[in-house]
Structure 1
Amino acid sequence: MPKGSWREFEDTAVKQTLQSSFQIESKSQLPVRVQKTRVGKGGKTVTVISGLTTRDNDQAKKLLKLLKSRCGTGGTIKGDLFELQGDQVSVVLELLKEEGYHPKKSGS
């Protein structure tokens, strides 16, 4: 065994997954999903947007404000999900395409 090749505490699998998670650089490569749901909302329809990874909280708030003003409804950010009141799927898909994302409708 050549000298210096032993690395007891280095986990290459973790390092590779961290590097691959940061390789997505453009908005068009993000897997953005838009769906409407009524589960756990007291029968009210809510549009849920997942996959919008923003680097800072200010950018997420600006995007949410744009979505809410375009749809004319209320909304919130819960973790990495954006929620808008009502069935706003078609409006959200159009807006995200204009912003450079590649969204897809999921669910029924």
Structure 2
Amino acid sequence: MDLQDQLKNLFPEHKPSEEEKKPVKSDIWLQDDPIICKYEKRKGKPITILEGYNGAEKDFKKLAKELKTKLSVGGTIKNDSIIIQGDYRNKIMDILKAKGFNVKRVGG
């Protein structure tokens, strides 16, 4: 018995509204072109760079903050790209794909 069935048993008169039936939409603007995820070394340290996002800057900053929080790493936004400290290409690609973005891996 799942949660929905248990709720129906507890509240038999409740009718779910249209808002409860709709899937949750992302609040970040999704794009058609893929985001490019590449790996570089700067001063001997690995970094992951995300380029190609063409949405609003507010959404871009929100996406960068969310990635840094989920990965527990540092990073910055420079010249329309997100720079994450460390080689996290696979994890970043999984997070972005779960959000509905198209992601393209570039480099080794």
Give aligned pairs, total. 80
TM-score (norm 2): 0.68
Runs of 4+ in structure 1 over 2 Å off: none
Contact 1:46/1:85 (<8 A) preserved? yes
Residues 30-45 of structure 1 correspond to what in structure 2 (within 5 A)? 30-38=33-41, 41-45=42-46
The structural deviation recorded for 1:52 is: 1.3
Which structure features the higher share of strand residues?
A: 2
Summarize deviations over 1:2-50 as a string: whole Å, max 9, x none: xxxxxxxxxxxxxxxxxxxxxxxx7351221101101xx2111000001
Is the counterpart of residue 97 in structure 1 residue 97 in structure 2?
yes
The structural deviation recorded for 1:104 is: 1.3
Summarize deviations over 1:59-98 as a string: whole Å, max 9, x none: 1111111000111100111111110000010111001101
Structure 1 gaps of 5+ residues are 1-25
Paired with 2:40 and 2:55, the residues of 1 have a C-alpha distance of 23
Counterpart of 1:21 in structure 2 is none
TM-score (norm 1): 0.68
Paired with 2:34 and 2:58, the residues of 1 have a C-alpha distance of 21
Contact 2:31/2:53 (<8 A) preserved? no
Task: Give secondary structure in 1 for the equivalent of 2:76.
Answer: strand
Contact 2:39/2:107 (<8 A) preserved? yes
AA aligned to 1:29 is D
Paired with 2:82 and 2:102, the residues of 1 have a C-alpha distance of 16
Percent identity (aligned): 31
Structure 2 gaps of 5+ residues are 1-28
Contact 1:28/1:100 (<8 A) preserved? no
